Amino acid sequence: MSSHTTSLPAGGPPRLCQNCSAPLTGPYCAQCGQHDVDYHRSFHHLTHDLLENLFHFEGKFFASVAWLLARPGRLTNDFIAGRRISQLNPLRFYLFVSVLFFLGLSLLNHGHILDIDRRELDHLPIEAEKNTQAAEQRAAAARPPAPEGAAPAAKPASKLTVNRDSDLGRRISDKLMSGALKPSEITDAIEHRVPSLLFLGVPLFALLLKLAYWRQRRYYIEHLIFSLHLHTWGFLVAMVGSGYLRLAGFGPGWLAAGAGWALGLWAVWYLLASFRAVYAQGWGRTVLKAGLLALSHAFILALTATLLALGTLAWFAFE
C-alpha cells in the first residue's frame, strides 16, 4: 500500500502532523493516528496510488476467499490471534461479498432478486375480481327463493366489512382490486429489505454463539468475527452453487441432483469443521451445538422475515 509521505532534507525541521501538529516519527502520527500522506501531487502519482491500493485490496480479497473456503475456521482463528495483515477486515469482507451476491443474483434473475413473473402478479387483482364475481353469482343461484310477499332477507353483517378500516388484509385487497397498488410493488419493497434482514442476522447469530459457548469466557467480538466469516462463506457458497447448478441444468438431471447433494454435504461438513476449529470441542458437542444454533438462527430469521413482510404490508395499507 502506498505511503507517499512528505520528505524533508536531513537535519531540517521535524515533520509535523497535518491534523494535530504533533512531531512525526514515522508514516503515522503517534498522537492521532493520521497517515502522513501528501495529496498535493500530480494526477500520475494519484493514479499510481489508486491502482496500487486496488491491487492490494484484490490480493487480500482473493487470499481471504482462498483461506475461507479451503481451511474452515482458519481465517477466524488467525484474526483473533492477531495475524490480520494478509486478510481483509471481516466486516469489509462481508459487505463486499454480500454486494457481489445480490448483484449477481439480480443479474441471474433478470433484475429481480425473487424469481417471480411480475406480469402474472400484476394480473392477480383482475383475476381475483373475476373469481369473486363468479363466486357471488354461484352463491346467488344456489340461494333458495324467498316466499312470495316476504321481505328480502337482509345481508348478514360481515365482520370483515364492519372492521374494514382496521383490517390489514382488507385494505391491501381493496388497493389491489382498485389498481392503486400492484403486487410487484410489494415484492420489490420486501426485496429491498432482504440485505438489511440478513445483515441483522449477523450480530444475532453472534449473540447465540455467546450464549452457547458462555463457559469459554470469550468476548462477544470474537463470536461476531466468526459470525461474519460464516455469513460471508454462505454468500460465497450460494454464488458458486447457484451458478454451477444453473450450468448443470443444461445437462442430464442426475448431474444437477448429484451436484446439489455434493454441495449440501460439503456445506454441512464445512460448518461442523468450522465450529470445531474455532471452539475446539469434540465432535459430539460440536454437532449438537451447531445443529441447535442453526435451527435457532433459522427460526429467528423466519420470524424477523414475517415481521418484515407484515410491516411492509402495513406500510402500503395505511400510507
Note the Cα 250 to chain centre separation in Å.
Answer: 29
Residue 7 belongs to a domain: no
Residue 140 belongs to a domain: no
pLDDT of residue 207: 95
Opening angle at CA 228, ends 234 and 54, nearest 5 = 90
The structural domain count of the chain equals 1
- The DSSP call for residue 143 is S
Cα dihedral value 221, 303, 232, 268, nearest 10: 100
Residue 290 belongs to a domain: yes
pTM above 0.85?
Answer: no
Residue 235 belongs to a domain: yes
Residue 211 belongs to a domain: yes
- The DSSP call for residue 164 is G
Helices assigned H by DSSP within the chain: 43-70, 74-81, 90-108, 118-122, 124-142, 159-162, 168-178, 183-212, 220-248, 253-279, 283-318
Q: Specify whether the backbone of 148 is left (phi greater than 0), alpha (psi in -120 to 50) or beta.
A: beta
Per-residue pLDDT of the chain (319 residues; tens, 9 = 90+): 444 545 444 556 778 888 898 888 888 888 898 888 776 666 666 666 666 666 667 778 888 999 999 999 999 999 999 888 888 889 999 999 998 888 877 776 654 444 444 555 455 555 555 555 555 566 566 555 555 555 555 544 444 333 444 566 676 676 667 666 667 777 777 777 788 888 989 999 999 999 999 999 899 999 999 999 999 999 999 888 777 767 766 667 777 777 778 888 999 999 999 999 999 999 999 999 999 999 999 998 888 888 887 877 777 766 6
Residue 22 belongs to a domain: no
Whether 231 contacts 202, CB under 8 Å: yes
Residue 216 burial (CB count, 10 A): 13
Domain of 300 in residue numbering reads as 74-116+183-318
Residue 98 belongs to a domain: yes
Query: In terms of Cα–Cα distance, which of 276, 220, 228 is closest to 73?
Result: 276
Residue type for position 199: F
Whether 66 contacts 34, CB under 8 Å: no
